[in-house]
Homo-oligomer: A and B are copies of this chain.
């Protein structure tokens, strides 16, 4: 009798502990992905302008990564990799038209995110999450490619970049609310190219805050993807002219204030201890960002690194990255773990206890041991430029198989990816093939990729042996996805998005005439 009553007591005590954990809510997920913001743009990453008090506080309350990478030096491929956890070469966000020239998703591209790709918001949705994207999608603008077809419940934002078009040869880009266009950039959502004035970031901040309010009581995923730091740069009245470095700095300050508001809202709602927030950028700062007024010098900062967006030098793919989860991540921690935006996929699965889909090959890895237990482990970084494996990092060593600064076609368009920088044999004007004897760098001693390690040294042999074996294994298991950026057609542009009739903004598409896309980058 005594025995059974003891047993009952123990069971009751166990129950008392177990029930709340069964009932405990899955954590909320927030991914804040900036557009063309550079590693060196944040105060906590050393920018002398110190325009990011909110991001610096996020770092002080969470974890800052020093060695975090994107999967591509340009937007669409990088963004597709975030969603799929897979390299662009695998998820199809590349082109076979011009070897090693960057490709992406301007509105005449026919391709987009394939139905065969698994996006992590789809898995979250299947597990009871409510998902919203605010801002830029860039995984395809045709109906079958849009966010609500790929795991999101809500959307406020645009499928493409906010370049200005004429609504004749090329229509202006639509701004969607969920599956219906609400208007177009310039026509309905104003961006003053001359002054850089636009209220868009304020709209994106408000959309995020409203979503948090609304979803406070159930698990949610917010993908916050504003684009004010992408050319043409913009800022709202309150921020324009406030920074010392022009419109780019104004945009950074406004985005920083948005991050502050989002994190504060979590605290205000009392859900901060159950929310994992991650901040990063899609690729290195564009060294050539411009407005109509101020050309070239309004670009962001890649700190001490070489070159910027479009390249596979550190400046093109090393990203600022902050992870934040009060009570779970130690405040003020700094991780030198080599991370990648593709890791968000596996990490989110892990912290939401969602099983890894069977048979799905991921390039990203789970970083939860880094976040919660300060672990560090070796893993390679593959730097692709479009369809070409340009460089590989393993440990502190980075091998260059190919080098290329700015292609001539791009120079003619006014681009320069490495202004003020010149490293003989490295920042080459022409595509240069070093696959026979890769250029090797030690990123610890030489983060700027300036000093080539002597190929006859013992150090070189040891490092290259390891890298070669990593590359061999990578290529052995690589299955290339169907290339999405090979074919273009003016007819597939945003002529008549759903909802256009309500706002009288439907345009007639020209006859379909597919052609090979040309990639000057």
Residues A48 and B445 in contact in the complex (CB < 8 Å), given A244-B396, A303-B304, A334-B43:
no
Q: Is the interface of A mostly helix, strand, loop or mixed?
A: loop
In the assembled complex, which residues on chain B have CB atoms less than 8 Å from the CB atom of A66?
48-50
**Interface stretch (choices A275-283, A447-455, A512-520):** A447-455
A245 at the interface (CB under 8 A from B): yes
Chain A residues 323 to 377 lying within 8 A of chain B, measured CB to CB, are: 334, 336
A48 interface neighbour in B249, B442, B447, Cβ under 8 Å:
B447
A67 touches B48 (CB 8 A): yes
A334 interface neighbour in B40, B50, B306, B421, Cβ under 8 Å:
B50
A residues contacting B by CB (< 8 A) are: 40, 43-50, 66-67, 243-246, 248-249, 296-298, 301, 303-304, 306, 334, 336, 396, 419-423, 442, 444-451
A420 interface neighbour in B48, B244, B423, Cβ under 8 Å:
B423
Closest chain B residue to A248 by CB distance?
Answer: B445
A245 touches B420 (CB 8 A): no
Closest chain B residue to A247 by CB distance?
Answer: B445
Closest chain B residue to A427 by CB distance?
Answer: B420
Choose among A301, A336, A423, A446 the residue with the greatest number of B CB atoms under 10 Å from its CB: A446
Closest chain B CB from A465 CB (angstroms): 20
In the assembled complex, which residues on chain B have CB atoms less than 8 Å from the CB atom of A301?
304, 447
Task: List the 5 closest pairs (A to B, CB-CB), nearest first.
Answer: A46-B46, A244-B444, A420-B450, A422-B422, A297-B451
In the assembled complex, which residues on chain B have CB atoms less than 8 Å from the CB atom of A44?
46
Complex Cα–Cα for A306 and B419 (A) = 12
In the assembled complex, which residues on chain B have CB atoms less than 8 Å from the CB atom of A50?
66, 334, 336
A297 touches B48 (CB 8 A): no
Closest chain B CB from A447 CB (angstroms): 6
A-B pairs with beta carbons under 8 Å apart, 29 shown: A46-B46, A46-B47, A48-B66, A48-B304, A48-B447, A49-B66, A50-B66, A50-B336, A244-B336, A244-B445, A246-B444, A248-B445, A296-B451, A297-B445, A298-B445, A301-B304, A301-B447, A303-B304, A304-B304, A306-B420, A419-B423, A419-B451, A420-B422, A420-B423, A420-B448, A420-B449, A421-B421, A421-B422, A422-B422
Complex Cα–Cα for A46 and B446 (A) = 15
Complex Cα–Cα for A48 and B66 (A) = 5
Closest chain B CB from A423 CB (angstroms): 5
B303 touches A46 (CB 8 A): yes
Complex Cα–Cα for A231 and B50 (A) = 31
In the assembled complex, which residues on chain B have CB atoms less than 8 Å from the CB atom of A48?
66-67, 303-304, 447
In the assembled complex, which residues on chain B have CB atoms less than 8 Å from the CB atom of A67?
48
Choose among A44, A46, A297, A448 the residue with the greatest number of B CB atoms under 10 Å from its CB: A46
Complex Cα–Cα for A49 and B297 (A) = 28
